[in-house]
Amino acid sequence: MTAFRRRELLGGAFLRRLAAQRVASRPATGNATRPAPVARVGAPARRARVLPLLRPPGAIAEERFLERCTRCGDCLSACPTGALRPLPPARGPRAGTPVLDFEHGPCVLCADRPCAAACTPRALDPLLPADMGRARIDPLSCLAAAGSPCSICAERCPIEGALTLDRTGPPQVSPALCTGCGVCQHVCPAPQNAVMILPVAQRPEPREERIA
């Protein structure tokens, strides 16, 4: 080991020289690139997260939906309220596929499901439940929660018991009954619409695949 004189220790020279020795002994990193991580054998590929959308009633699971939907627009033409709109080109592989837009109209849960009946590739199945989403009421925007005598959303809801009035706050949504049809959002008279429809996270697989 290198010997240091007493005055070097007192003057800090020892510490400076020791630090210089440590720096010199480190391997140079520069801009060397790190080796790419080695994938584990048999590890499942990570799928990109796909955000759910408000699809028409009877829409099958999203991956199957995108495989089958031809972007023909027949379901859009068949909707009696104009609630269906195509996604814009900026949405990439989902562009042209139908989504519900309640600013134009709600889904009125037609008994004959004209949108699904018009879907030749069966991306929409008329025999699947009309389970599109769930309504949420913002108490800060709701007129009833502020004490106003407003009950229009509960009165116009097409599913009995899905939306009930509460004396002390906003209307209550039953997740077990709500279909996300958007009637409540479409008729909400509040200056800042108090209703938000959240799409279901998962939809069923095509019936023929489940049977097989």
How confident is residue 163, by pLDDT bands cut at 50, 70 and 90? very high
31: number of Cβ within 10 Å: 4
The number of angstroms, rounded, from the C-alpha of 115 to the middle of its chain's C-alpha atoms is 23
- pLDDT > 90: what percent of the chain? 69
Task: Report the 10 Å Cβ neighbour count for 160.
Answer: 8
- pTM for the model: 0.72
Which pLDDT does position 20 carry in this prediction? 57
**Which pair of structure tokens corresponds to residue 127?**
């025999």
Of how many residues is the chain composed?
212
Question: What is the reported pLDDT for 54?
Answer: 97
Nearest CA among 50, 141, 139, 66 for reference residue 98: 66
Mean per-residue pLDDT for 62-72? 97
Q: Which of 59, 61, 64, 47 is nearest to 84 (CA)?
A: 59
Q: What percent of the chain has pLDDT over 70?
A: 74
> What's the sign of the alpha-carbon dihedral 75, 78, 81, 82?
positive
Distance CA 197, CA 182 (A): 7
Region 136-143 average pLDDT? 96
* Domains of the chain (ranges, CATH numbers): 51-129 (3.30.70), 131-201 (3.30.70)
The pLDDT of residue 5: 46
How far apart CA 92 and CA 160 sit, in angstroms, is: 38
Residue labelled with tokens 């955000």 = 51
- Residue 137: Cβ-neighbour burial (10 angstroms; 0-12, 13-18, 19+): buried
Q: How many CB atoms lie within 10 A of CB 163?
A: 24
Distance CA 132, CA 136 (A): 13
pLDDT at 56 exceeding the cut of 90: yes
Average pLDDT over every residue of 79-94: 96
